[in-house]
Structure 1
Amino acid sequence: MIIDLPNTTTSKVNSKLVHVREQGGATTLGRVLTLVIVTDDGERTEEAIDAANDASREHPCRVIVVARGAKRAAARLDAQIRVGGDAGASEVVVLRLYGALADEGASCVIPLLLPDAPVVAWWPFEAPAKPAEDPVGRLAQRRITDSATDKNPIKALEVRQRYYTDGDTDLAWTRLTLWRAVLAASLDLPPHEKVTGAAVTGEGDSPSTDLLAGWLAATLRVPVKRIKATDGEGIISVVLERKSGPIELTRPDGRVGTLTQPGQPARRVALQRREVRDCLTEELRRLDPDEIYEDTLKGLGKIVRSRASARTRPDPERTADVAAQAPTLSAARAAQVAKAKKTEGGAAQEAGATPAAKADPKPKADAKAEGKAPRKAATTRPRTRAAAAK
């Protein structure tokens, strides 16, 4: 059910919410938090609302959308209340602010906050440089941004690093959960050796690739290269160097990854790019500061950036073949194979052609054509003419 309240006030909106709750009964209760979405009024606003509705099925909440409209218009507040099937497991309040009210989102949100419930602020697109000092950010215990949707994702990530405050997080970081889990699990397999270096290859403007490199630098405390890929989207591959050989995790198609390491068969891993609703759902599971994300931001200053060469990206088929042969092909067996190939090559050479030093200067085919047998080379010089005539 959708209820439109044009040119209204927050007091009327709150009264209408109470009326809807009385009509709906207990189904409108049980909210665990208030999610405030701050964005500009436009088509993308509905994308953010849909993601919040999906996340509310795990975290029932009240969703307040602050959609900032044209600042040159007359000061006006148009509200919309969505409940039931149009709001997932939550109740959605959309506040469209125009004119002078466009910059007063926090004042319009305060009367609608759930009492004694935590507040989470989410900027699904462009976010302020200092979310913790934003008027809406001051009301929240957790502040969620998304560097990937910014006009300059890498620069936006640098701003997050500079102005980080406890409670900040970014969906570009949340998209790494599967990558981090696979890489951590691969180090639990033998041989248990120390990682001596790492390289992360990905799209040039992928903030998730930078964060993954920063996480490896902060966690493993080893040199990490951040390589800019010439093609592909998002994260392409990760290589962890060890004494016995590298661990390689590649995802060239953006859906399925391949994990290869010495002495183990190649493994296919589901690494499909995560949807916004899944990342938002994960972030709403915690309200305390993310210390690992903080350390990762610090690790961004330790990575070394370089451009990809022609051989930077590993071939998935080649790495899979090498990994499949590694458990069965020993060094001794490899030597035997090389020796056998060498022997076969020598035999083929002897059977196919006579060495040039022993070859007859005139081909046998020509000798037969003239009706003469091929002459053998004289080994001794005759001493007399009689001997020569005989």
Structure 2
Amino acid sequence: MRTDLTDTTSSKINAALMDARRAGGAGAAGMVLTLVIVTDEGSAYDALKAANDASREHPSRTLAVIKRAGRSPRARAETRLDAEILVGSDAGSGETVVLRMHGELAAHAQSVVLPLLLPDAPVVVWWPENSPAHPAQDPLGSIAQRRITDAVTAESPVGQLAQRAQSYTPGDTDLAWTRITGWRSMLAAALDQRPAKVTAAVVEGESYNPSVELLGLWLHTRLHVPVERVVTGGPGITSVTLRTKDGDITLDRPDGLMGTLSMPGAPDRQVALKRRETSELIAEELRRLDPDDIYATSVRTPVERLREPANAETTAADKAAKAAKTVEAATAAPARVTVKVPAEPAEGPAAPKAPAKAVAKAPTKAAAKKTATGVAKKAPAKRATKRSGA
């Protein structure tokens, strides 16, 4: 059932919802939460379709907020609220209200949404695109227990993770994190089946994909091992390798559909790792409304903790060069000491000064006449001088 209201108010929308519910034979709401979608006309269709599909698992009242502030002074001066109400099969298992706010009303969306919230029910706000820098400080985000963003839609998806870490408030989450649930489950199950000490990890995936970065950060924080980031052509995450003393544990998904799990001493197994639709991601996020502490720990870890192959090789070369310089300096130091030490005593008799001259100069006729004991004392010094020069 569809009802269109033009230049309306929140109270009229509530009354129309009650009439539509009674006309459909439902006396009670029977919904568990209110889902507020902040979007634009271009993304409204896909977002509403995903929300309607998710409502079959979580019956909810969906409020789509579409702001039309207008560019011209005349459009901005025209303050109006239009609503489209969908109940029944058109709205999944709940109710859908599309709110189009014109003019100055677009800057006060919370004043329209508040009277339409389900009483005594949780509120979830979802930004499919153009999410605010601080979701919890947004007027609509401040009334929600759960706030969902999507870093992949940002102009700089990986840079968006740093913004999400800076503005994180308990209740925040991102669909880039939800997309790696299957990978995290498979890798955790693999380590449960074959407990082993992981020494390093490699995450491969397409460039500028925040899910790839989050998966690497999660491995780094949970296993406390260095993680290498390798860029591939995708789609999404293509492979994860956990290095152990017994061999590599590899989860490979080159086509975005089926994955292959390889473990030492066991045959390869095919696992389901299909890239999920947005409706499945939203349904998963609506299953829990408490803060996600694991996500908070992962997103707050700087992305710079992940190593790239080129950087790793450069670091190894630098370490090798420094080690070579240290060895060279340690080898050269005894040469200077060997030559100078015999000349140090200033108050001793003149006789001991002769060996120092013998070390520095070639043997003379006077040296040949020395006793066998004197020759034996000079020989080690001469050999030490030759080794230090080499």
Q: Give the % identical residues.
A: 55
Question: SS at 2:250's partner residue?
Answer: strand
Q: What letter matches 2:43 in structure 1?
A: R
Aligned pairs for 1:25-104 (under 5 A) are 25-26=25-26, 29-40=29-40, 42-72=41-71, 73=75, 74-104=78-108
Question: SS at 1:209's partner residue?
Answer: helix
Which residue is equivalent to 1:280? 282
1:208 to 169, 188, 211: 211
Contact 2:228–2:309 (CA under 8 A) maintained in structure 1: no
Q: What letter matches 2:265 in structure 1?
A: G
- Partners of 1:49 and 1:179 in 2: CA distance: 27
Q: Which runs of 5+ in 2 are unaligned?
A: 312-390
Aligned pairs for 1:249-260 (under 5 A) are 249-260=251-262
Deviation per residue, 1:9-67 (Å, 9 max, x gap): 21211121122223233365211110000012x23201100111111111111101101
Aligned pairs for 1:10-25 (under 5 A) are 10-25=10-25
Aligned residue pair count: 306
Contact 1:217–1:302 (CA under 8 A) maintained in structure 2: no
Deviation per residue, 1:166-207 (Å, 9 max, x gap): 0000111111111011101111223x2210111111111111
Contact 1:211–1:300 (CA under 8 A) maintained in structure 2: no
Q: Which runs of 5+ in 1 are unaligned?
A: 310-390
- Partners of 1:11 and 1:293 in 2: CA distance: 39
Cα 1:11–1:219 change in 2 (3 A) is: same
Aligned pairs for 1:206-285 (under 5 A) are 206-229=209-232, 231-285=233-287
Q: CA deviation at 1:271?
A: 0.9
Residues 1:154 and 2:158 aligned together: yes
- TM-score, scaled to structure 1: 0.76
- Partners of 2:297 and 2:36 in 1: CA distance: 27
Aligned pairs for 1:323-334 (under 5 A) are none
- Partners of 1:304 and 1:119 in 2: CA distance: 35
- Partners of 2:89 and 2:237 in 1: CA distance: 36
Q: CA deviation at 1:304?
A: 2.1
Q: CA deviation at 1:301?
A: 4.2
- Partners of 1:282 and 1:198 in 2: CA distance: 27
Q: CA deviation at 1:233?
A: 1.9
Which residue is equivalent to 1:144? 148
- TM-score, scaled to structure 2: 0.76
Contact 1:80–1:94 (CA under 8 A) maintained in structure 2: yes
1:173 to 177, 199, 205: 177
Q: What letter matches 1:143 in structure 2?
A: R
**Higher mean C-alpha deviation, range 265-274 or range 82-91:** 265-274
Aligned pairs for 1:330-369 (under 5 A) are none
Question: SS at 1:288's partner residue?
Answer: coil
Contact 2:221–2:297 (CA under 8 A) maintained in structure 1: yes
Deviation per residue, 1:126-164 (Å, 9 max, x gap): 200100000000110000111112222112121111110
Question: SS at 1:155's partner residue?
Answer: helix
